[in-house]
Amino acid sequence: MRILITGAGGQLGRDLQEALTGEEIHPATRAELDVASRTAVFNAAEQVRPAVIINAAAFNDVDGAETNPELAFAVNGVGPGQLARAAARVGARLVHISTDYVFDGTKGTPYTEEDNPNPQSVYARSKYEGERRVLDSEANACVLRTSWLYGEHGRNFVKTILQAAERGGPLRVVSDQTGSPTSTHDLADAIAALIRASARGLFHVVNRGACSRHEFARAIVQDRVEVMPISSAEAARAAPRPANSSMVSTRWEQAGLPPLRPWEEALSDFLSQHAHQKRND
Ligand SMILES: NC(=O)c1ccc[n+]([C@@H]2O[C@H](COP(=O)([O-])OP(=O)(O)OC[C@H]3O[C@@H](n4cnc5c(N)ncnc54)[C@H](OP(=O)(O)O)[C@@H]3O)[C@@H](O)[C@H]2O)c1
């Protein structure tokens, strides 16, 4: 299968290239394909003629988006719409990645695909715009909402906590945000399974279960340093985050796709591999 991956230099983009070994992959980093450029997107689709386009590109700076809404909407809103039109033109399927932050966080239980988004930050609104443009397009498209991503490549919460722990505790981590931590390795494998099936539409794709950021940090440092709970108000970030953005998928398993494992198992594997990698560096 010929597959064009945008945002190929990011943490999901890198793991996708590993998960799709054996396919004809055309990875495009931001320098090679700017998804905000209509011309670049249509040219790439015409030149590569992929069977599938996976959009792993995003403007992911949640706080930075508050002061740079034009760029956030160009990359996260307009870009996916252009990719969907280009995909429709060349007859490619589009797999687009979105976020748990489209929810306002007020639901007391995990969000399903049936729940109504109510994005609260610029980043969240820009990602919701991208979802709608893809799902309203003529393309054969899937939108996958995922959350709290971490992987070996790139910056993420797990690596930040590990580095902070190495410098010594105590760490201060918010305890009033709950979500579903998800490994980019597992998400990439899930996408590989998805593109070999014929599913279409909106799916939540996360490692099973949920925890607070504070619980997540404690699972990462495993009692090596103290982790003190603080509130989101104390953390004082520029963009609001949902209090609860944990998700479950009602549609993924209905489509016959393999469920992802519990987040604790995925994290445990990541931590052993990360430690092994560090010893060999
Ligand atoms: N990270 C999370 O916790 C999280 C949570 C929920 C959903 N998601 C979604 O999951 C997807 C993958 O995220 P990730 O964590 O792998 O992100 P990432 O590591 O930040 O990778 C995103 C990639 O997109 C590239 N990019 C930025 N602007 C671009 C543009 N205009 N054209 C083409 N590429 C561009 C970035 O390049 P530069 O590095 O050069 O800027 C980066 O390589 C995104 O859709 C994201 O919104 C992420």
199-235 pLDDT, tens digit per residue, is 999 999 999 999 999 999 999 999 899 999 999 999 8
Complete domains list, the chain, with CATH: 2-156+181-209+246-262 (3.40.50.720)
Tokens 């604790």 belong to 264
Q: In the beta sheet, which residues pair with residue 149?
A: 182
What pLDDT shows up at residue 236? 87
When pLDDT is cut at 50, 70 and 90, the band that residue 106 belongs to is very high
Q: Which of 4, 5, 16, 30 to mutate to test the pocket of ligand 1 (most atoms within 8 A of CB)?
A: 30
Residue nearest to atom 43 of ligand 1 (CA): 10
Instruction: Single out the residue of 97, 66, 69, 103 nearest to residue 83, CA to CA.
Output: 97
Going by the DSSP 8-state scheme, the letter that residue 30 receives in this structure is T
Report the pLDDT value the prediction gives residue 129, as an integer from 0 to 100.
98
In the three-class reduction of DSSP (H, G, I as helix; E, B as strand; rest coil), residue 6 is classed as strand
Residue 128 appears among annotated catalytic residues: no
207 close to 266: Cβ distance less than 8 angstroms: yes
pTM, full prediction: 0.97
Is 64 a pocket residue for ligand 1 (Cβ < 6 Å)? no
> Is the predicted pLDDT of residue 109 greater than 80, yes or no?
yes
φ and ψ at residue 8, rounded to 5 degrees: -70, -15
Kindly report the protein residue whose alpha carbon is nearest to atom 34 of ligand 1: 30
- Cα separation, 58 vs 177, in Å, equals 22
pLDDT 10s digits, 237-272 = 999 999 999 999 889 999 999 999 999 999 999 999
DSSP, collapsed to helix, strand or coil, labels residue 14 as helix
